[in-house]
Structure 1
Amino acid sequence: MTGSSPAVRSSTPGVDSTPTALAQDLLVACRRGDPTERYRTALAEATDADLHRVREDRRTGLAFWLNCYNAGTQLLLEERSDLYESPLRFVRFFHASAVTVAGTSLPLDRIENGLLRGGRSKYGLGYLPKINVTNFERRYRLDDCDPRIHFALNCGAESCPAIRAYEPDRVDEQLDLATRSYLDATVAYDSGANTVLVPRVFLWFRGDFGGGSGIRELLRAYDAIPDDATPKIRYDSWDWTKAAGKFAE
């Protein structure tokens, strides 16, 4: 596994690795059904110094928080699946503790919106700043929101993208692959009607993509629509059926 952060000085037997490697190993353990406690404990015991590269390097931060989010989702689905199946899913599941990093308990909502999206609200279609930002979020959030994260984050729903273990040295290449794969599977362009049907995540986080023009620009960049097309955007429904273990091959 790739690791570019200082070594975590863990008291957990058999674990002495970087935070980035720990997050990757945790996700791999989730995929294989292996025990996860040693990785979770080591991440919880990491210090601010251990997380220097996560804090200071964009690629390391991206890979680390993507892996933490996706591992956290799988852990919640396995250990607290009732929260996902609750009518109050958006409060109970997304605000439940998913993973602990450096002594801070982090729900999925905070990892996505407070850290990966740089402190943007999940309300307001991606145009509004997040309210009630914690000191941890201020210290570790990414400066800018990379819209490709929306094709990498898996919250357990059938409509979510497949999960990959992201590596700092390859995260941009991996995000391009994840984006292209997801768009190929979900976008439907109708040249005759001059419309394009896209996943609903484009609507929920419209501001992250730069509005309608930004959405079309991204679709052109990944060959989902022709370079000269300016179709009307339609948003598909989202299938919230629980789908644990949706890993890329």
Structure 2
Amino acid sequence: MRSLFALILLCLSPAIFAAPKADLWPDWQPHNAASTVQVDHSRWQQLLDKYLVTQPTQTLFRYRQVSDSDRYELGRYVRDLSQSDPRQLNRREQFAYWVNLYNALTVKLILDNYPVSSITKLGGLFSFGPWDEEVITINGKALTLNDIEHRILRPIWQDPRIHYVVNCASLGCPDLQPQAFTAANAEALLEQSAKRFINSDKGVAVRGNRVRLSSIYDWYGSDFGTRAQLQRHLNRYRDGKPVTLNSVSYDYNWALNEAR
């Protein structure tokens, strides 16, 4: 019965993923512009160094190989972040904090439920994935992955490149970056992530006069603007001949981004 519900939800996924809008949670808007605190993301970096596999057009994660001690270190990293107050950080440190936390929580969810063929298999019986599940408590407030992406990152920073750096553990998703985000490297990684995704077939695939785009550009179309604005955005990062968005379709691969 559960598999039947999962199949129904999978068929309805485009409608589900069109729903989340940028809706600011005001409690997380404050920041301390004068703060010089640097958050330690070294545990997350060590996990990426050990288990992330970078291929020409895809990064994959060795979920099966993660040791018990490294699972513990990941949990410790997440706990350490949960025990700090991101509102006391400056904006650049905040951005790195939230992006790394989102990605670390996603990897932890897969590891906690492994083996699993897709992140969409997680969550409650009538859920398409775990994005509305409360996964962490910070400053006494329970947060979901959707809270982090759609109520903190998107409304505060208002940068469409955010969609290229929060990873949903799926083959269709923009790559999990091999570097942990920091205040110093965030802009470079945003640019690198956008370029890599837009020049991959999972981001933009051109076949003659037809263009197949990632469903991200459909689900979050408001972040990229009109079709003309989206076209300019894509061509800013594309190598070779500019793309023309006359005949467009959308696709997304929810299979787990696992290295075999």
Matches of 2:35 and 2:176 in 1, distance apart? 23
Q: Say if 2:84 is the partner of 1:46.
A: yes
**Structure 1 residue 235, shift from structure 2 partner:** 3.0
After TM superposition, the structure 1 = structure 2 runs for residues 1-249 of structure 1, keeping only pairs within 5 Å, are 18=38, 20-21=39-40, 24-28=41-45, 30-31=47-48, 32=50, 33=66, 34=70, 35=72, 36-47=74-85, 51-53=87-89, 56-57=90-91, 59-81=92-114, 84-86=120-122, 88-90=126-128, 93-118=130-155, 142=156, 144-164=157-177, 165-186=180-201, 187-190=204-207, 192-193=208-209, 195-223=210-238, 226-227=241-242, 230-244=244-258
Please, what is the CA RMSD of the aligned residues?
A: 2.8
Amino acid at match of 1:153: V
Matches of 2:227 and 2:132 in 1, distance apart? 30
Matches of 1:27 and 1:234 in 2, distance apart? 37
Amino acid at match of 1:68: L
Matches of 2:218 and 2:75 in 1, distance apart? 37
Number of aligned residues: 197
| Alignment check: 8 A CA contact 1:69 1:111 kept | yes
CA offset digits 1:95-146 (Å, max 9, x no partner): 223334334332111111011111xxxxxxxxxxxxxxxxxxxxxxx1x421
**Structure 1 residue 222, shift from structure 2 partner:** 0.5
Amino acid at match of 1:237: D
SS of equivalent to 1:113: helix
Amino acid at match of 2:161: R
TM-score norm. by structure 1 comes to 0.68
| Alignment check: 8 A CA contact 2:35 2:88 kept | yes
Amino acid at match of 2:113: R
Judged with a 3 Å threshold, the aligned counterparts in structure 2 of structure 1 residues 213 and 180 are, in CA distance, closer, same or farther, namely same
Judged with a 3 Å threshold, the aligned counterparts in structure 2 of structure 1 residues 155 and 110 are, in CA distance, closer, same or farther, namely same
**Structure 1 residue 188, shift from structure 2 partner:** 1.9
Matches of 1:6 and 1:102 in 2, distance apart? 20
SS of equivalent to 1:236: strand
Amino acid at match of 1:232: N
Judged with a 3 Å threshold, the aligned counterparts in structure 2 of structure 1 residues 222 and 157 are, in CA distance, closer, same or farther, namely same
Amino acid at match of 2:218: L
Structure 2 partner of 1:10? none
SS of equivalent to 1:168: coil
| Alignment check: 8 A CA contact 2:78 2:101 kept | no
Matches of 1:157 and 1:168 in 2, distance apart? 26
Matches of 1:103 and 1:163 in 2, distance apart? 29
229-238 or 106-115, which deviates more:
229-238
Amino acid at match of 1:47: D
| Alignment check: 8 A CA contact 2:75 2:108 kept | no
SS of equivalent to 2:173: coil
Amino acid at match of 2:256: K
